[in-house]
Amino acid sequence: MRARVAEAPVRSRWAWSASGAGRLLIALGGLIAAVACVGEPGTGSRETAAEEVAFEIEAEALLSVGVLSGDTPQELDRVISPFVLPDGRLVVPLAGSRELRVFSAQGDFLERLGRRGEGPGEFRSLSAAWPRGDTIEALDGALRRVTRFLPDGSVAVIPIMSGFLRDLSSAAGPLGRGWALGGVASGGRGARDVLAYHHVDRDGSHLGELASSGGIIRYAAGNYGGPEPMSPRSVFASDGTRLYVGDTLNPLVRGVLAPGVVDVEITWEPTESGSADSAFDQVVEEAVSRAGPELAEETRQRLRAAPVPTQLSVFWDFLLDPQGYIWIQPYQPLAHSFALGARYLGGVGSGGTWWVVTRDGRLAGSVGVPEGLEVTQITTTAVVGIRRDGLGVETVHVHRVSRGS
């Protein structure tokens, strides 16, 4: 059985803003209908047809790990952003055991990289990991350093200079020779966090702040302090050349080329999201139902103490693929609410239809993501993702992707 892709024929029109940044408008009718907007200074607008691509993700996984009970290498603890390397090896970073497990393209366990500790190749905190060609790179936010596991088996450790961004707990991945690294710049109860990402060079030197955006909105109720039940967040991703940034409240993704240089803006008109009050009520009642009889009233009181949002998010996540597309996950209140298990970073395994857009803002199509799969990486031929069952058991899967016109 295959998850079929919903094709979306589209036409686009180009224009440039006065600032010179390419500003594109994606108009969505029904789910998505058409792309609009564009021209170049000194020229009339010209209309171009966006390329239509049929994206399809196979429902049955090519490769799965974490599914063999009693096999220690397949017992996974706090998986973060698994990915495949160009030769097909699957890398599974584990925040719990502070290591990266490497499996062959057939699913055989090959090796462990890293462990708890503070020596070369060790981690006090495995905050994020990503590929750079055949090299595996990982951020230790606690030790403030990037570790590179090179193809020849050697390990390079790059300390990140101090003096900027005290919280260095997340990464968008490679950017030029170095990286886009980020964390919480400010925040507190009753306020929205501010997240900032900075450009760091290969030697650990600081090249400047790339972008900042709103994080979660915090509230307090009794002894509880944390994100509002339906708090928005921001998403950051790098394609090696630009850092892409989006606040889930706004239908806008910015491409940042260098500190202070935004040269791409992709916007769209989202479909009607419905009443925020109604969505909030549904989320609260679903959370109460999941809490069970003993905790139902406590859960209801805690969530009802939170402010009702005046605006709903319009998307929840986006990822970049190597062929120049941005995959955008539309917001679903019952899937993407913190009261129901949403997280500060990463996606949610809610499946459903994602929008697929070119980096210059043209709609290319849409794709059906298998239910329960939290997508963490998109390659030319596959998607990688995490599944979590009702007991929190994690498994990692690679699904084939086909692309046709």
Helices (H), 147-269: none
Which one has a higher pLDDT value, 47 or 78?
Answer: 78
Rg (CA), the chain: 21
pLDDT value, residue 240: 95
CATH number for region 2-404:
2.120.10.30
Q: How confident is the model over 282-310, as a mean pLDDT?
A: 94
What is the arithmetic mean of pLDDT over 144-170?
Answer: 96
Q: What number is the average pLDDT over the span 49-62?
A: 80
Would you place residue 359 in the very low, low, confident or very high pLDDT band (cuts 50, 70, 90)?
A: confident
Over range 202-230, report the average pLDDT: 92
For residue range 320-343, list pLDDT tens digits in order. 999 999 999 999 999 999 999 888
Plot region of 86 (φ>0 → left; ψ -120 to 50 → alpha; else → beta): alpha
pLDDT above 60: residue 161: yes
pLDDT tier at 390, thresholds 50, 70, 90: confident
DSSP 299: H
Write down the domain spans for the chain: 2-404
Residue 49 CA to residue 362 CA, distance in Å, equals 9
Report the distance separating Cα 205 and Cα 193, nearest Å.
Answer: 25
Query: Does residue 38 surpass a pLDDT of 90?
Result: no
Confidence of residue 51 (pLDDT cuts 50, 70, 90): low
Q: What is the value of pTM for the model shown?
A: 0.85
- 304 confidence band (pLDDT: 50, 70, 90): very high
Q: What is the dihedral of CA 222, 226, 229, 231, to 10 degrees?
A: 140
User: 3-state class of 213 per DSSP?
Assistant: strand
pLDDT at 3: 27
103 beta partners: 90, 109
pLDDT band at 405 (very low <50, low <70, confident <90, very high): low
Backbone angles phi, psi at 353, to 5 degrees: -95, 130
> Quick one: average pLDDT of 314-322?
94
How confident is the model over 133-160, as a mean pLDDT?
A: 97
Percent of the chain past pLDDT 90, that is, above it, reads 73
Section 92-97 average pLDDT: 96
Higher pLDDT, 124 or 46: 124
Q: Higher pLDDT residue, 357 or 26?
A: 357
Please state, rounded to an integer, the average pLDDT across all residues of the chain: 85
Q: Is the pLDDT of residue 15 over 50?
A: no
d(CA 245, CA 75): 34
Q: Residues for the chain: how many in total? A: 405
CB 45 within 8 A of CB 38: yes
**Using the 8-state DSSP alphabet, how is residue 103 labeled?**
E
Report, as an integer, the average pLDDT of 240-258: 95
* pLDDT above 70 as % of the chain: 87
The phi, psi pair for 274, rounded to 5°, reads 85, -175
Alpha-carbon gap, residue 382 to 319, rounded angstroms:
13
Tell me the C-alpha distance between 245 and 254, whole Å: 5
Average pLDDT over residues 255-280: 89
Determine the pLDDT at residue 226: 86
* Residue in 117, 112, 119 with CA at minimum distance from that of residue 136: 112
In angstroms, the CA 140 to CA 44 distance is 51
Is the separation of the CB atoms in 200 and 173 below 8 Å?
no
200 pLDDT more than 90: yes
pLDDT > 80? residue 47 = no
